[in-house]
Amino acid sequence: MIFDAIVVGAGITGLTTAYIATNRGKKVLVLEKQSRAGGNIKTLKVEIDNKTYLFEEGPQTILANNEAVYKLINSLPVEVVKASPTSNKRFIYKRGKLIPIPLKPWEFFLTPLVSLKSKLLLFKEFFEKPIQTEDESVASFVRRHFGEEFLNYFVQPFVSGIYAGDAQKLSLRYGFPKLWEIQKRYGSLLKAFFKEKRVAPKGELISFRGGLIELIRALEKKVNLLTDAEVLKIKKTDGNLFEVISKKGTFKTKKVIITIDAQTTARLLKPLYPPIEVLKEIYYPPLAVVSLSVPKIGLEGFGFLVPPKEGLKILGAIFVSSLFEYRCPKEEDCFSVFLCGDTQKEVCQQKEEEILLTAQREIKRVFPQIKEFRFRKIRLWKKSIPQYWVGYQRYMNALEGLRKVESNILVISNFVEKSSLAGCIEKGFKVGERI
Ligand SMILES: Cc1cc2nc3c(=O)[nH]c(=O)nc-3n(C[C@H](O)[C@H](O)[C@H](O)COP(=O)(O)OP(=O)(O)OC[C@H]3O[C@@H](n4cnc5c(N)ncnc54)[C@H](O)[C@@H]3O)c2cc1C
């Protein structure tokens, strides 16, 4: 049998691609290395003493900011849950306190997060002229437009929260393409805000009653999936087909869709197109997600982020019990705490128990009223989120080169263009329609 497409990897990108193409009558096979589908998506559901805890150990929510997400979830038997209305309350940790992130312009002028001097820099920002550069770091862009304090207390915490990354290294062009476009077009972000009425991405924060894994379970039922089927080699045959050699057999296909990490992609595709080896350089920092519960302390909001200058050994935490209902016993509050990332990778060199204790110690510094921790568990990601560093263009050039030589191999992993769940779904949807 000859498949129309073989999808390598059964994370959200691979499953969405296969589902859309299968629905359109294509013969598609998904090959997954692990014994389970989902990739980064890992929902943990535990019952202890008749109490149920539901934590996400990988991605926490989907920011549904494109049509593909709604088309996908509306076509599947999943129960969507929206984040609580208080989830727009987010905090930054400064000098022992959680300070709300200003949501309205006038709140910005009152916030103690940055000094009056930094606030006045906003007036100067209005006169920034467009600059045409190949690329620049997020930090250099923010410093020029808003100053150092703004970088430390607003932007770096967000870069940690989204990419587990370092604003000094992250590319504005690839990490925040919308801002890159705006700066090329208007120069000033404020000017763009007044003209376009919005700079920040919009969209609802959603998940599912049974956690994000519910989406994976629904998708895997609709596709032809082989687990424990690591792909070992991809070869070209005489008839312009590909032979995909996996631990569960060899399969022939017209197209190959790659949705796996950069290092394995480089290894599999190097025999077909040697320059692709450059993908090996793409860095994925380690990230630890610690799930904790404490006797109720009245958490409200989405969670908080920590500027590196504040000296805590955590990147931030999500208030799980406030974000979604039915995730934490009523008499308790639950947190997902994030540690390591590119800026604090040394924390992940400790033993897992020590990382867990670090998370508990730092959460207690933020909430000294906590007397005990009840539920506690750690998930360590040795390779978490791909870092779109300055100079990312060279990887995109290598992929462009591959496209020219082998147009029937498509790489749509999360190191290409978008790494958010919504972005992965959008890419999977587009490619699934095209197969
Ligand atoms: C801790 C963490 C928190 C995150 N938080 C968020 C968040 O809150 N919101 C958000 O939008 N995004 C978040 N992200 C990012 C997002 O989760 C990922 O970018 C996304 O899940 C990637 O999906 P994917 O299908 O492209 O890749 P993956 O999920 O990595 O799936 C790839 C699959 O390929 C398989 N594979 C690898 N090699 C082979 C091989 N040789 N043969 C066959 N199969 C192979 C792997 O086993 C895996 O199952 C987070 C990521 C992490 C790690």
Ligand 1 within 6 A of CB of 9: yes
Q: At residue 200, does pLDDT exceed 70?
A: no
Q: Is the pLDDT of residue 181 over 60?
A: yes
Give the SS3 label for residue 405: helix
Distance from residue 14's CA to the centre of ligand 1 (Å): 10
| Closest ligand 1 atom to 259 CA | 26
The alpha carbon of residue 64 and the mean position of all alpha carbons in its chain are separated, in whole angstroms, by: 13
pLDDT in tens, 113-123: 999 988 888 88
What is residue 398's three-state secondary structure?
helix
Mean pLDDT over all residues of the chain? 95
Tell which one of 16, 36, 40, 338 to mutate to probe ligand 1, the residue whose CB is within 8 A of the most ligand atoms. 40
pLDDT digits (tens, 9 = 90+) for 116-144: 988 888 888 888 888 888 899 999 999 99
Q: How many Å lie between the centroid of ligand 1 and the Cα of residue 330?
A: 31
In contact, 317 and 363? CB cutoff 8 Å: yes
Cβ–ligand 1 contact at 59 (below 6 Å): yes
What would the two tokens of residue 346 be? 């040394």
**Residue 239: pLDDT band with limits 50, 70, 90:** confident
205 lines ligand 1 (CB under 6 A): no
Residue 183 — very low, low, confident or very high, per pLDDT cuts 50/70/90?
A: confident
Q: What is the pLDDT of residues 74-110, one digit of tens each?
A: 999 999 999 999 999 999 999 999 999 998 878 888 9
33 in ligand 1 pocket by Cβ < 6 Å?
yes
| Domains of the chain (ranges, CATH numbers) | 2-40+209-283+387-434 (3.50.50.60), 81-88+285-381 (3.90.660.20), 114-199 (1.10.3110.10)
* Distance from Cα 377 to the centre of ligand 1, integer Å: 20
Distance CA 260, CA 329 (A): 36
Q: Is the pLDDT of residue 191 over 90?
A: no
Residue 414 CB–ligand 1 contact under 6 Å = yes
Is 58 touching ligand 1 by the criterion CB < 6 Å?
Answer: yes
Query: Is any atom of ligand 1 closer than 6 Å to the C-beta of 230?
Result: yes
Q: 164 CA to middle of ligand 1, Å?
A: 14
Question: What is the structure's pLDDT at 197?
Answer: 63
Beta carbon of 34 within 6 Å of any ligand 1 atom = yes
Rounded to an integer, what distance in angstroms lies between the CA atom of residue 149 and that of residue 141? Answer: 13
Ligand 1 atom showing the smallest separation from residue 13 Cα: 25
Residue pair 425/68 in contact by the 8 Å Cβ criterion: yes
Residue 50 Cα to ligand 1 midpoint, Å, equals 32
Spatial separation of the C-alpha atoms in residues 248 and 230, rounded to whole Å: 8
Mean pLDDT, residues 197-208 taken together: 78
State in Å: Cα 384 to ligand 1 middle: 8
Is residue 166 within 8 A of residue 155, CB to CB? The reply is no
Distance CA 111, CA 392 (A): 35
First vs last C-alpha separation in the chain:
17
435 within ligand 1 shell (Cβ under 6 A): no
Q: Which of the listed residues 245, 260, 420 should we mutate to test ligand 1's pocket, taking the one with most ligand atoms within 8 A of CB? A: 260
C-alpha 117/C-alpha 122 separation (Å) is 9
Any atom of ligand 1 within 6 Å of the Cβ of 17: no
- CA proximity to 291, closest of 42, 55, 45, 53: 55
Q: Extract the tokens encoding 198.
A: 């919005």
Among candidate residues 169, 181, 174, the one with its CA nearest the CA of residue 132:
181
DSSP per residue, 320-346: HHHHSTTSS-TTEEEEEEEEETTTTGG
CB of 54 within 6 A of ligand 1: the answer is no
- Tell whether ligand 1 has an atom less than 6 A from the beta carbon of residue 259: yes
79-83: long-range contacts (C-beta < 8 A, 24 or more apart)? 79/208, 79/209, 79/210, 79/214, 80/206, 80/207, 80/208, 81/206, 81/207, 81/208, 81/209, 81/324, 81/325, 82/204, 82/205, 82/206, 83/204, 83/205, 83/206, 83/207, 83/302, 83/323, 83/324
* Three-state DSSP state, 97: strand
Structure tokens at 61: 């929510």
pLDDT value, residue 138: 97
- Which protein residue's CA is at the shortest distance from atom 48 of ligand 1? 39
Q: What is the pLDDT of residues 301-347, one digit of tens each?
A: 999 999 999 999 999 999 999 999 999 999 999 999 999 999 999 99
CB distance 429 to 422 below 8 Å: no
Dist. CA 40 → ligand 1 center (Å): 4
Q: Is the CB of 161 under 6 A from ligand 1?
A: no
| Interior/surface letters 83-118, b for 16+ CB within 10 angstroms, e for the rest | bbeebebbbbbbeeebeebbeeeeeeeebebbeeeb
Atom number, ligand 1, closest to the C-alpha of residue 34: 47
Per-residue tokens: 233: 């080699």
pLDDT attached to residue 103:
86
Share of the chain above pLDDT 70, in %: 99
Under 8 Å between Cβ of 358 and 314: yes
Q: Whose CA is closest to 312, among 362, 347, 354, 352?
A: 362
Determine if ligand 1 sits within 6 Å of the CB of residue 387.
Answer: no
Q: With bands split at pLDDT 50, 70 and 90, how would you rate the model's confidence at 280?
A: very high
CA distance 272 to 46: 45
Determine contact, residues 74/433, Cβ cutoff 8 Å: no
Phi, psi of 399 (to 5 degrees): -70, -35
Mean pLDDT of 357-383: 97
pLDDT of residue 201: 58
